Structure 1
Amino acid sequence: MNKRNFIKSFGLLAVTTPFLGFDSKQSMELRTLLPKSIQKGDTVGIISPSAATADRMEFTYAKEAMGALGFKVKLGENLQNRFGHLAGTDEERAKDLNSMFADDEVKALICIRGGSGAARILPLIDYKKIKANPKPLLGYSDITALLCAIYSQTGLITFHGQNGTGSWNSFNVKQFEKVFFEKELVTFQNEQTKGDDLVIKGNRIQTLRGGIVEGKILGGNLTVLSALSGTPYYPDFKDSILFIEDIGEDPYRIDRMMSTLQLNGTLAKIKGFIFGQCSGCTPGGGYGAFTVDQIMDHYILPLKIPAYTGAMIGHIPKQFIIPVGAKVKMDADAGTFSILEQVFS
């Protein structure tokens, strides 16, 4: 994933392309919109709104995974296109997204992968069409741009979780079935296995500040989220619970992005904080460096809100499927959060 190229390309787009259909007054009156429920036998659409997929077998894996979950599959018209590092031109990728939401046969959308480039299509998305045809959209990493934009413009609950080419292990499949088929009000708690050691070391959480709080859960990939700052596609985090994750970023970059969330007022608005996994985010060389733990302490502890780190969120084989925009109850001491209300209509 080359997220830094994404930021450069999005910055250029922000300068050269006007934001379409943004009404600040309307955004302040945003109401939660529930997607329609899905079941086995339904048709899901597979789209590629970000980077291109180089290995053709990945398309087969994604299609077979959806079939194994019990779905019929419809592939985006431009799914296998390529334009530079992207899966087609901005217009082609936006067309697949808009077409799937407009197609009555398609009941849900899954993004085949992340990478970079999803933010380039945000001004081309037909948000009115999405609002008139609310469907589940699943993906993570660069797909954070879509999850945030769609929520900020329509209020639609989307889902931060496995991409089509991701790991569909038993943990992820079971959670998918609980969320989408059984419509369970899931409690998200890290899976732990003791192993041959005196103490459990895998998937441990760290409580930064204890407490229980309720609010809408919003967030996603930190790099992509911070790059949306100052645009109409950045959600209003007032009284929310913020969750973030990232991969392959030096701690000084994590510090810079957390500083952005502080400077744009996000951290002052939130009621709770969950940090997932930051894979490969270890200090590099040079004259001294912060650790990610130190960075979280610096920005989060002064807020005096319930907060914990280490949740199973991010670029990891087993990950939570989070309904972005849903009301949840978070317990920072236990390292859990639970869905409080039904997330499907």
Structure 2
Amino acid sequence: MRFIIYLFFLLVASTGTCSAAPDTVFDIIAPSSKGSELNLQLIEDYLESIGIKANIPENIYSDADPLYSNTDEFRAESLVKALTNQNSIAIWCTRGGRGASRLIPYLEKLPDDVKKKIAQNKGKKILMGFSDISVLHFYLQNRYDWGTLHSPMLDQIIDNKISQDSIDKLELLISGYRNNIKFNLKIIDNGVEFADGILESKVVGGSISLIRASIGTCWQIDAKDKILFLEEVEPDPALLELSLEHLKQAHILDKVQAVIFGDILCANNDQLLELVKNKFAQSVNFPVFRLQGIGHARNNYPLPLNTRAVISHIRGNDFSMVVDMPVEWRRR
């Protein structure tokens, strides 16, 4: 099977589809759980097939800490090197899982000159990933105002767990062929309208469980005057309702401009799940939307975060949203 995947990468490379600019370098890191060591060469081959050189740390995976991809120190060092690398334009995570939050104390204790280098890379470099990587999205947005990219993990692509349409749209963005991405939204009618049917803001968010985990920390999500995107794997709709209530009582939703529900994966409870979403929408004074295709399902389209986003009314309950990649990153 891996040989077939490898041949597919070679075929893509030969067609020249969505190839990045020459000398494009991505740092590959594993800040959370351990991925497949067998996939590392395939990751390198895949990126090469779309014109990207992979910079993968030696010994990226280790058994030194069985809970994570490597020790906290190694994972933090790899992350910092990637954040400050002047020769790369993106940091792509191999997989999620758990453990990214343990790196925050290391980032907080960095010398001022290193923090300055990270700050200088705002707009010039993006972090890619989702799920547990939400921790790092929140932190980089809060501390350095970085624009980042909620995207599939590399292991998911290699293991054929992501739809080809999702991969195609992702490659259009990271290769520079597209500077933005458009989504179709459905509003949950709660009587709230916005002026002229247009809302311009920035999108932040990700995993609901990680948003809750951020509360009270230095990386607590800041959704004020922004569009909050939510996705999760939550088998019990009642627990989702508790999570949403927690966000309200913890003031995470104060001054939010809108909420977008991405994919909330609920086992055989779709009707109850929709009830929870509708109850939530009726309890707040801002627009609430549904968006299919971003989260832990096979369709997982890329979503730029902390960048310009415009929601426009089309007709009835139908809206569109166009989200830009970071401006400086697009001009590279």
Cα deviation, 1:184-225, whole Å, max 9, x if unaligned, reads 2321238xxxxxxxxxxxxxx563447542211110011111
Cα deviation, 1:249-269, whole Å, max 9, x if unaligned, reads 422321222122101112232
**What does 1:156-175 align with in structure 2 at a 5 Å threshold?**
156-167=146-157, 169-175=163-169
Gaps of 5+ in 1: 1-37, 191-204, 284-288
Q: 2:320 aligns with which of 329, 333, 336?
A: 336
Contact map agreement 1:311 1:335 (CA 8 A) in 2: no
- CA deviation after TM superposition for structure 1 residue 281, in Å: 4.6
Task: Tell me what 1:219 maps to.
Answer: 205
Task: Tell me what 1:114 maps to.
Answer: 96
Task: Tell me what 1:86 maps to.
Answer: 68
Q: 1:152 aligns with which of 142, 152, 166?
A: 142
2-structure distance, mates of 1:41, 1:334: 41
Task: Tell me what 1:276 maps to.
Answer: 262
- CA deviation after TM superposition for structure 1 residue 231, in Å: 1.2
Q: Which amino acid aligns with 2:148?
A: T
- Give the SS at the match of 2:289: strand
Cα deviation, 1:60-87, whole Å, max 9, x if unaligned, reads 3322222222111111234212312201
- Give the SS at the match of 1:329: strand
2-structure distance, mates of 1:255, 1:248: 10
Q: 1:231 aligns with which of 217, 235, 248?
A: 217
- CA deviation after TM superposition for structure 1 residue 124, in Å: 1.1
44-53 or 209-218, larger mean C-alpha shift: 209-218
- Give the SS at the match of 1:45: strand
Contact map agreement 1:206 1:310 (CA 8 A) in 2: no
Task: Tell me what 1:97 maps to.
Answer: 79
1-structure distance, mates of 2:60, 2:325: 34
Task: Tell me what 1:182 maps to.
Answer: 177
Task: Tell me what 1:13 maps to.
Answer: none
| C-alpha RMSD of matched pairs (Å) | 2.5
CA 48–324 in structure 1, closer or farther in 2 if over 3 Å, else same? same
- Give the SS at the match of 1:115: coil
Task: Tell me what 2:298 maps to.
Answer: 317
Aligned residues: 288
- CA deviation after TM superposition for structure 1 residue 109, in Å: 0.8
CA 265–114 in structure 1, closer or farther in 2 if over 3 Å, else same? same
Task: Tell me what 2:132 maps to.
Answer: 142
Gaps of 5+ in 2: 1-19
- CA deviation after TM superposition for structure 1 residue 327, in Å: 1.9
Cα deviation, 1:131-157, whole Å, max 9, x if unaligned, reads 123311100111000001110110010
CA 145–57 in structure 1, closer or farther in 2 if over 3 Å, else same? same
- CA deviation after TM superposition for structure 1 residue 318, in Å: 2.3
Contact map agreement 1:218 1:240 (CA 8 A) in 2: yes
Task: Tell me what 1:62 maps to.
Answer: 43
106-115 or 330-339, larger mean C-alpha shift: 330-339
**What does 1:260-299 align with in structure 2 at a 5 Å threshold?**
260-283=246-269, 291-299=272-280
- Give the SS at the match of 1:114: coil
TM norm structure 2? 0.79
Contact map agreement 2:188 2:281 (CA 8 A) in 1: no
Task: Tell me what 2:7 maps to.
Answer: none
- CA deviation after TM superposition for structure 1 residue 293, in Å: 1.7
2-structure distance, mates of 1:118, 1:341: 24
CA 93–208 in structure 1, closer or farther in 2 if over 3 Å, else same? farther
Q: 1:130 aligns with which of 118, 125, 128?
A: 118
2-structure distance, mates of 1:326, 1:85: 34
Contact map agreement 2:304 2:325 (CA 8 A) in 1: no
1-structure distance, mates of 2:300, 2:255: 26
Task: Tell me what 2:240 maps to.
Answer: 254
110-119 or 333-342, larger mean C-alpha shift: 333-342
1-structure distance, mates of 2:183, 2:22: 23
